[in-house]
């Protein structure tokens, strides 16, 4: 539940930037910074916040050259990852996985 509260704070802070899609999911453009191990990858991404009942709270990044599901994580689920809306208005998602170890994905909306 805490993750959904943090996601709601993020959406509220950026309500002018977040666009509602036809299926009620929400979309925005953001700079995503993915940190894992000793690596940091930055890429401009389309971010979708899913609002449907079974996907509610899921955050998805579009596939890109640097951040893609072959090498990193592009889908985050509130049941498994930790979400935090920072004072600066960034959405920070953290977790540990067998694929990349401990990681942080920071989503910074672009107006």
Which parts of the chain fold into alpha helices (H)?
2-13
Q: Total structural domains in the chain?
A: 1
Its domain, for residue 8, covers: 2-109
Q: Which residue has the tokens 């930055």?
A: 42
* pLDDT at residue 94, rounded to an integer: 98
pLDDT by residue (tens digit) across 57-69? 999 999 999 999 9
Q: How many CB atoms lie within 10 A of CB 65?
A: 7
12-36 pLDDT per residue, tens: 999 888 888 877 889 999 999 999 9
Helix or strand holding residue 42 (H, E): strand 39-49
CA 13 from centre of chain? 15
| CATH code of residue 45 | 2.30.29
């Amino acid at each position: 539940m805490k993750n959904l509260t943090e996601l709601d704070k993020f959406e509220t802070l950026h309500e002018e930037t977040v666009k509602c899609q036809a299926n009620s999911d929400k979309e925005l453009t953001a700079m995503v910074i993915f940190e894992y191990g000793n690596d940091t990858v930055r890429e401009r991404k389309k971010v979708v916040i899913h609002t449907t009942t079974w996907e509610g709270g899921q955050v998805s990044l579009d596939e890109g050259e640097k951040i893609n599901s072959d090498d990193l994580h592009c889908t985050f689920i509130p049941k498994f990852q930790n979400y935090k809306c920072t004072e600066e208005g960034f959405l920070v998602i953290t977790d540990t996985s067998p694929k990349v170890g401990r990681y942080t994905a920071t989503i910074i909306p672009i107006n």
